[in-house]
Structure 1
């Protein structure tokens, strides 16, 4: 990786569409590292960043792609926290040939990563891409400044929900401690993640949870475009809804159906070990992690539910869980 970076004149940084904290933190930390190395780098987001990331050091450097936009004249691509080219959204849809013609370096932790990089550093056992990047930067001799450490900390904290997820390991905790020692602004990260929820997000969560359904083993909820417009919530608010659903006791798996502006449906799958929802997401050309995965189905939410719910029930049943009568809460 270091050799490829040293040879490059202009590096394009990409991450997945609808970026979460790990996507933004990993891309932005890479930008800090490359800038410190004297490299010209352009971080390009496929969609608007969530408000919780607006405070991160270096955010103004991130360009947000608009349909029809030309790509920067780069000679190397670095993709972080992204399992496939297609996950970069419109950037890939509109520039597939140009992207495939460039050398690509990949740093990721998704078990469904396709290994599209000329050099791919993929560690599914890592809790976040930012966790991998700290060790990479240290191996490359990069000076991890407080600003860079803050971006990495943001990614670690968001992907582990502040070290709550099953993916959290002793190494994850060591990474967190090292980043704190390096000057990461953990207090601001926690504040933006947990204590700065917009009222519109709270309204959307209330609307969705009012129509939550469960059969005693799995739970599901739907967010329509009408609900998003009515509440005034941004797309990222749906992630907070999923977190609220995960707090329900005794549910091995759940799914959230989100209606997209195109009429298609994005599904967000969550589970408890050993249920691997990434295998289910692959059925619809999606991916992710064993306990957190997603996909987009080219159909409205009601039709998607008819297809996804029986499949999720079957997956849960494979692990001995019993499904009982469906009820609305």
Structure 2
């Protein structure tokens, strides 16, 4: 795909001023490309689709470009059917500006989309809520709120553009990244923003139904496999999904989104880990923590990142070898944390 251009990280600047700059950029330009990370979940997709609706309401052209497809549980969102793959961009739009949403670093968008961004030479607006964000954009609106959807809500309020479809997309983001308001990032602002979105017409019941109560037979079979092959050692529970399991169980890799949350419900554990074997000799590792343990630091050790209680990474290697490496590092850090906290 050619050599990448290096974007020097822009140092943090006062976030109120950055928001005003982004508002001006939207006013001054007409064509926008929006993207988010690989394996998109509710906050990534909800934020991207809501921003696209806002831009369209302003009379702008906007496309959401993603390397991965939309998970079944999020296809109900307005505009989900219009999301395009990387090859579609050249045929439909020459963006003046890129919005990269819910990504701690640019590499999270995937090689194909990153190549498009680099090749275009267009400015990047980085909107994100991860505490380890690399400030890779020309404009970086990064705040440690519960969900990126809350930052898009600020743009919607600034333009006074919010309707039930926008509200539903943003509510989906808040629900997804707080895990239904169960995670430690559920602070008063998250609850106030959620209430405001419902008042604006967000279809809260529809969001819950699609995110949590609509399971395929394949997903139920995957859940059974994960539980049957779960391992418990002291305060860690982990399970694995080899690539062959998907064909054997009549399921797809997209149907694994909520399995790590199920593992985290096990009584007495501190950390849950799910290993998912991908094509090309890679393994996706998802972490969840219950207590005061920062799994994002473990993920970062392997080139990933995320939040203190919810993080992930993708590691090259065979499944068994990756399991051994990750669990060894996790045990080491848990032991150190136990000694530190007494």
2:16 alignment counterpart: none
Match among 121, 126, 136 for residue 106 of structure 1: 126
Deviations 1:46-83 (A, max 9, x none): 20110111111122221133699778411100111111
Match among 26, 35, 38 for residue 17 of structure 1: 38
CA contact (8 A) 1:15 1:45 kept: yes
Once residues 216 and 141 of structure 1 are traced to their aligned partners in structure 2, the CA distance between those partners, rounded to angstroms, is 51
CA contact (8 A) 2:274 2:286 kept: yes
Match among 298, 305, 314 for residue 287 of structure 1: 305
CA contact (8 A) 2:65 2:89 kept: no
Once residues 160 and 88 of structure 2 are traced to their aligned partners in structure 1, the CA distance between those partners, rounded to angstroms, is 35
2:288 alignment counterpart: 270
CA contact (8 A) 2:23 2:155 kept: no
Unaligned runs of 5+ in 2: 1-21
Compute the TM-score of the two structures, normalised by the length of structure 1: 0.92
Give the count of matched residue pairs. 319
Alpha-carbon distance, 1:96 to partner: 5.5
**More off after superposition, 246-255 vs 83-92:** 83-92
CA contact (8 A) 2:273 2:288 kept: yes
Give secondary structure in 1 for the equivalent of 2:258: helix
Match among 231, 238, 258 for residue 220 of structure 1: 238
Alpha-carbon distance, 1:237 to partner: 2.0
Alpha-carbon distance, 1:135 to partner: 2.2
Once residues 116 and 72 of structure 1 are traced to their aligned partners in structure 2, the CA distance between those partners, rounded to angstroms, is 23
Match among 252, 256, 269 for residue 270 of structure 2: 252
Alpha-carbon distance, 1:5 to partner: 1.4
Match among 204, 213, 217 for residue 186 of structure 1: 204
Pairing 1:206-217 to 2, within 5 Å after superposition = 206-217=224-235
Once residues 200 and 285 of structure 1 are traced to their aligned partners in structure 2, the CA distance between those partners, rounded to angstroms, is 30
Alpha-carbon distance, 1:97 to partner: 3.0
Deviations 1:120-174 (A, max 9, x none): 11112x1111122212321x22311111101001111111111111100011110
CA contact (8 A) 1:67 1:90 kept: no
Distance 1:67 1:17, change over 3 A: farther
2:146 equivalent to 1:121:
no
Once residues 139 and 126 of structure 2 are traced to their aligned partners in structure 1, the CA distance between those partners, rounded to angstroms, is 6
Give secondary structure in 1 for the equivalent of 2:337: coil
Pairing 1:39-54 to 2, within 5 Å after superposition = 39-54=60-75
Once residues 304 and 68 of structure 1 are traced to their aligned partners in structure 2, the CA distance between those partners, rounded to angstroms, is 35
Compute the TM-score of the two structures, normalised by the length of structure 2: 0.89
1:89 alignment counterpart: 110
Once residues 15 and 239 of structure 1 are traced to their aligned partners in structure 2, the CA distance between those partners, rounded to angstroms, is 16
Distance 1:207 1:131, change over 3 A: same
